Amino acid sequence: MRTARLKNLEDQVVVITGASSGIGLTTAREAARRGARLVLAARNEQALEQITDEIRELGGEAVYVKADVGSEDDVREISRVALERFGTFDTWINNAGASIYGRLSEVATEDHRRLFETNFWGVVYGSLEAAKHLRNRGGAIINIGSTLSDRSIPMQGMYCASKHAVKGFTDALRMELTEEGAPVSVTLVKPSGIDTPYPLHAKNYMDEEPSLPAPVYAPDVVAETILNCAEHPKRDVFVGAGGKFLSALGQHAPRLTDRIMEATIIRQQKSGRPPRDRDGLHSPSFGLQERGEYEGHVAESALYTKASLHPFVTGSLAVGAGLLTAAALRQARDGRGRSRSWWHSR
């Protein structure tokens, strides 16, 4: 078995789908700043042209491809342009995605199918195209899943289903490439709620403008995570402790988690503002906007994610937690303390 040896970012050619807004746009700008050469893909050609010009004006190298990742031919064209322009690519980031807000029973079947074409089949087409090129020379495939790859919530049911499917596909692809000895790192990045135009691009069946359930993080945190995985092989990474907590709670106390979701999450996904007539599901929406319109607190960093990306820090945190636990147990045995639930100490 050959281990994936990933290049420094400044020596890489990086493909990014969904590069015209949100996480993709933030990642593209940061990758360019770090010296990567870029192949940017999205449906919004005007936005792609502008971001490509911006990168070139700042001394970077970039090329764009107007592409709908739900089309296998369009995804092949992304690869063709990358090879024609740069002769290779080293990291392929499957980021393009869309959502639908509404009850499953109220959403049109054609919308359900369209969402899967983008969120699932776009990842499949991109991953297999990337693997075809990388399996002999090495590199990274980075698929953007979600906290909702592990735990579903109401009102975005088909989005959750698509992200569950992305996780299953990514895990299977990783095992197959590893078994055949391909030096390819396959990573699933699982963001929590991120302050991007994601709710504004979604197809909305609700009677209010969509919003995001807390906690919400900045897109820069996801971009930093993605680019770390482009240089350092990772299996999967949660972006934000909130997502990790939700996943763990759903695994260990599924019915309790259901009840919490039923009682809180539907309301949290409604902004209180009248709905606007937007639909980025079937056609390109506006671009060149990294942030959305989330009105609550947005975390600009994620200590949990930083720790998970850096083993030394993770080990230090684990040792510290172990020492604190041991001290608490000693105190309890000595009779100088009393048992307290974690939420009572906050």
Q: pLDDT tens per residue, the chain (346 residues)?
A: 577 899 999 999 999 999 999 999 999 999 999 999 999 999 999 999 999 999 999 999 999 999 999 999 999 999 999 999 999 999 999 999 999 999 999 999 999 999 999 999 999 999 999 999 999 999 999 999 999 999 999 999 999 999 999 999 999 999 999 999 999 999 999 999 999 999 999 999 999 999 999 999 999 999 999 999 999 999 999 999 999 999 999 999 999 999 999 999 999 999 999 999 888 999 998 999 999 999 999 999 999 999 999 866 555 544 544 454 444 445 434 443 333 332 233 3
Whether the Cβ atoms of residue 100 and residue 56 lie closer than 8 Å to each other: no
Active site residue 159: yes
Question: How many whole angstroms separate alpha carbon 56 and alpha carbon 198?
Answer: 27
Whether the Cβ atoms of residue 125 and residue 96 lie closer than 8 Å to each other: no
The catalytic residue among 64, 101, 159, 294 is: 159
Element (H, E) at 133: helix 122-134
| CA dist list (Å): 70 to 85, 136, 212, 282, 284 | 23, 26, 25, 11, 13
- The predicted-structure confidence for 179-198, as pLDDT tens digits, reads as follows 999 999 999 999 999 999 99
Element (H, E) at 110: helix 109-116
- The predicted-structure confidence for 14-30, as pLDDT tens digits, reads as follows 999 999 999 999 999 99
Q: Where are the domains of the chain?
A: 9-309, 314-346
Quickly tell me which residue has 């995804």 as its tokens.
Answer: 75
Residues 278, 166, 275, CA angle at the centre, nearest 5°? 15
- The predicted-structure confidence for 256-304, as pLDDT tens digits, reads as follows 999 999 999 999 999 999 999 888 999 998 999 999 999 999 999 999 9
Nearest to 94 by CA among 27, 32, 159, 155: 27
Sign of CA dihedral 64, 188, 244, 267: positive
Question: How many whole angstroms separate alpha carbon 273 and alpha carbon 293?
Answer: 11
CATH architecture of 9-309: 3-Layer(aba) Sandwich (3.40)
According to DSSP, the β-strands at 298-299 and 13-17 are unpaired
